[in-house]
């Protein structure tokens, strides 16, 4: 039987701390060679800027194969539709049976925030107390939940282009009981943040490296996985110790990395490590309190597998979802 899990099912099942643990294990599995994470192929529709990205992964520890089909269609914005949609399929490595089909919105948002939390745990200064957010949408709310699970944050600073977004953000994170300051500019976020997360669908840089301060950690998350899109300018990438989720994926999809490489300001050899190598203790991310560390988060299918397994198991325990015999 195949379990179909809707967006509302998945929203009711989310456990951020468990997700962070699952994502941390997944990153370590890459470094240990027990998980397989190829760079996704980008399917480009002729005459359109739409992309379809099948994101695949295998994890021996979970005995699963997974594929997420991500549709990135910017023109949907004009029609009032989501610009990104995705669906995740989990299959047994042992039998090939399709175990589950999941709507991709909640898993993608939560595992992305969890990846930032794992990076923050291993790269940020332990005495970091101020969390800064460039972008205040749903992903920013998830990042607050995730970062608070790994650091004793005492203050939040957020910037967004619209007051409606920041008002909604403040209401949604009020449950944490922390002071929230709305910055007037993105630069103001970096003036006070110990950990900064960039969460915008930017094409051109919205963050300048000259704003970075010694000791900061940055999670660069928001831009679409396209080699011509970026949030961080070239100086920001050049002056940071850059850690990626997957070097193969970043070398194909990350404009934050590829644009400064094309400019001659950076090379792939300047990337310090994959996050899994840091998690497994094979490489050093932060060397000292003055290092500026930057996690370049492009997104990998193994994290969809990891959270997919977690949510699938929770759904079975709680009797949620719709079981369907696809062979009937």
Residue 84 in tokens? 């990104």
- 303-315 pLDDT, tens digit per residue, is 999 999 999 999 9
- Per-residue pLDDT at 200: 94
User: Quick check: 215 and 290 in contact, CB under 8 A?
Assistant: yes
Residue 57 in tokens? 């992964």
User: At what angle are helices 301-318 and 105-123 packed, to 10 degrees?
Assistant: 120
Measured distance CA(93)–CA(6) in Å, rounded: 24
- The boundaries of every CATH 3.30.1780.10 domain in the chain are 2-107+302-324
The continuous run of DSSP H or E covering 72 comes out as strand 64-72
- Per-residue pLDDT at 223: 79
- Per-residue pLDDT at 227: 87
Residue 114 in tokens? 């969890």
41, with CB counted inside 10 A (0-12, 13-18, 19+), is exposed
Residues 6+ apart with CB under 8 A from 87: 68, 69, 101, 102, 103, 104
- The boundaries of every CATH 3.40.50.720 domain in the chain are 125-300
Measured distance CA(269)–CA(224) in Å, rounded: 23
Q: What is the β-pairing status of strands 293-296 and 241-244?
A: parallel
The CATH number for 125-300, chosen from 3.40.50.720, 3.40.640.10, 3.40.50.300, 3.30.470.10, is 3.40.50.720
Measured distance CA(106)–CA(129) in Å, rounded: 27
User: Quick check: 245 and 93 in contact, CB under 8 A?
Assistant: no
- 116-130 pLDDT, tens digit per residue, is 999 999 999 999 999
Residues 6+ apart with CB under 8 A from 184: 159
Classify domain 2-107+302-324 at the CATH superfamily level.
Answer: ornithine cyclodeaminase, domain 1 (3.30.1780.10)
Measured distance CA(56)–CA(54) in Å, rounded: 6
> In tens digits, what is the pLDDT along the chain, a chain of 328 residues?
999 999 999 999 999 999 999 999 999 999 999 999 888 788 888 888 888 999 999 999 999 999 999 998 888 988 999 888 999 999 999 999 999 999 999 999 999 999 999 999 999 999 999 999 999 999 999 999 999 999 999 999 999 999 999 999 999 999 999 999 999 999 999 999 999 999 998 999 999 999 999 999 999 998 778 889 999 999 999 999 999 999 999 999 899 999 999 999 999 999 999 999 999 999 999 999 999 999 999 999 999 999 999 999 999 999 999 999 998 8
- Per-residue pLDDT at 290: 98
Q: Minimal CA–CA distance to 282: which of 17, 33, 52, 41?
A: 33
Report helix, strand or coil for 78.
helix
């Amino acid at each position: 039987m195949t379990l179909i899990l809707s967006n509302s099912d998945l929203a009711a099942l989310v456990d951020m701390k468990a997700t962070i643990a699952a994502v941390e294990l997944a990153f370590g599995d890459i470094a240990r060679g027990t998980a397989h994470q190829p760079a996704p192929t980008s399917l480009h529709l002729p005459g359109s800027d739409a992309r379809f990205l099948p994101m695949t992964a295998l994890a021996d520890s979970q005995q699963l194969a997974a594929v997420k089909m991500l549709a990135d269609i910017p023109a949907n914005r004009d029609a009032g539709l989501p610009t990104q949609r995705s669906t995740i399929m989990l299959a047994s490595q042992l039998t090939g049976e399709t175990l589950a089909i999941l709507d991709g919105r909640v898993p993608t948002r939560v595992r992305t925030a969890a990846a930032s939390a794992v990076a923050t745990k291993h790269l940020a200064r332990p005495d970091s107390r101020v969390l800064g957010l460039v972008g205040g949408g749903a992903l920013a709310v998830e990042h607050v939940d995730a970062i608070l699970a790994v650091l004793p944050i005492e203050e939040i600073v957020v910037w967004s282009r619209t007051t409606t977004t920041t008002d909604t953000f403040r209401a949604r994170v009020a449950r944490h009981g922390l002071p929230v300051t709305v910055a007037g500019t993105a630069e103001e976020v970096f003036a006070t943040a110990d950990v900064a997360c960039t969460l915008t669908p930017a094409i051109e840089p919205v963050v300048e490296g000259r704003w970075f301060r010694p000791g900061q950690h940055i999670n660069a998350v928001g831009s679409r996985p396209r080699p011509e899109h970026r949030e961080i300018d070239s100086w920001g990438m050049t002056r940071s110790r850059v850690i990626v989720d997957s070097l193969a994926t970043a070398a194909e999809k990350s404009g934050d990395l590829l644009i400064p490489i094309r400019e001659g300001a950076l090379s792939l050899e300047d990337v310090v490590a994959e996050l899994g190598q840091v998690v497994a203790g094979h490489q050093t991310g932060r060397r000292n309190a003055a290092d500026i560390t930057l996690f370049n988060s492009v997104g990998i299918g193994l994290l969809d597998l990891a959270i997919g397994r977690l949510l699938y198991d929770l759904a079975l325990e709680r009797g949620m979802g719709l079981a369907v015999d696809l062979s009937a």
